[in-house]
Amino acid sequence: MPTSKEDLPGTLKRSPRKAQETWAKTHDSAVETYGEGERAHRTAFASLKHSFEKVGDHWEEKAEKGPSDAQAAKSGQDARDSDTPSAGGVDVRGHSREELLERARSLGIKGRSSMNKEELGRAIARKQD
């Protein structure tokens, strides 16, 4: 059964139609391949993160397509076996440290000045949830 707008995760309901369609089409295809469940959701979010970035409570289109962080750059068994932390939808690779610092500052994240890009991305993602 195709994904309806009511079935979308909350952050996608507040996102542009293109983000909703990207997630829904990938999710529906993944359900046909893997069945309903976590794997279909992971596949849909991986596809979404290639073109969109989580900003606050919604997703925005990225300036350039591609993986958001080191974990997103992995695929298949490498991704499943990895203990590399994800930046939770924050485009660490597409932003400078200064841009991430500014976002962290606006979110009131403490200790941000001593964080590297990956740590800033994870802190921003936690604060946005």
Structural domain tally of the chain?
A: 2
CA distance 68 to 91: 4
Tens of pLDDT, residues 60-113: 999 888 878 777 777 778 877 888 878 888 888 889 999 999 999 999 999 999
Examine residue 28 and state whether it is found in any structural domain, yes or no.
Answer: yes
3-class state of residue 62 by DSSP:
coil
Tens of pLDDT, residues 22-59: 999 999 999 999 989 889 988 998 899 889 998 988 99
Are residue 6 and residue 51 in the same domain, yes or no?
Answer: yes
Of 73, 77, 102, the residue nearest 86 (C-alpha): 73
53: containing domain = 1-66
Beta strand residue intervals within the chain, DSSP E:
52-55, 58-61
What is the band of 2 on the pLDDT scale with cuts at 50, 70, 90?
low
Q: What is the CATH number of the domain that holds 39?
A: 1.10.1740.70
User: With 60 as the cut, is the pLDDT of residue 1 above it?
Assistant: no
Examine residue 78 and state whether it is found in any structural domain, yes or no.
Answer: no
CA distance 8 to 11: 8
Are residue 35 and residue 94 in the same domain, yes or no?
Answer: no
pLDDT at 84: 80
Examine residue 95 and state whether it is found in any structural domain, yes or no.
Answer: yes
> In this structure, is the dihedral angle defined by the CA atoms of residues 71, 30, 51 and 19, taken in order, positive or negative?
negative
Are residue 88 and residue 60 in the same domain, yes or no?
Answer: no
What is the reported pTM? 0.71
Examine residue 76 and state whether it is found in any structural domain, yes or no.
Answer: no
